Amino acid sequence: SQQGEEDPQALSIQEGENATMNCSYKTSINNLQWYRQNSGRGLVHLILIRSNEREKHSGRLRVTLDTSKKSSSLLITASRAADTASYFCATAAYSGAGSYQLTFGKGTKLSVIP
């Protein structure tokens, strides 16, 4: 079952604009991670935010986490054509027996038009 749900499903912007993607989840989490996937290839880890953190930055990426609303957002500033990809949020939640399971949303497809 999907834990994280991204919104919007697809986003098309002009190069240079900012892109914001949102992720909502249902249960308590240990951390939330964002990944990028280029056209049916493997996923690339972008950023991890712990449940006790509210905001994190990495280059042009800014992630926020609101555990009270069970939501996160990923902001990509000054987008480039190379940012065109699908973006997934993944929540790490306790699954029993000392393990955490990473559950992915269905992703947001971002198109950056040159």
Per-residue tokens: 83: 């940012």
Residue 89 sits in the site that holds other proteins (CB under 8 A): no
Q: Does 48 bind other proteins (CB under 8 A)?
A: yes
What b/e readout covers 17-44, taking b as 16+ CB neighbours within 10 angstroms? eebbbbbbbeeebebbbbbbeeeeeebe
Examine residue 16 and tell whether it contacts other proteins (CB under 8 A). Answer: no
- The answer to whether 20 and 102 are in contact (CB under 8 A) is no
Q: How many whole angstroms separate alpha carbon 25 and alpha carbon 64?
A: 14
Give the nearer residue to other proteins in terms of CB position, either 65 or 107: 107
Query: Taking contact as CB under 8 A, which single stretch among the options 14-22, 26-34, 57-65, 72-80 is the one that binds other proteins?
Result: 26-34
Rule CB under 8 A: is residue 107 a binding residue for other proteins? yes
- By CB under 8 A, name the binding residues for other proteins: 1-2, 30-31, 33, 35, 40-45, 48, 50, 88, 90, 92, 94-95, 97-107
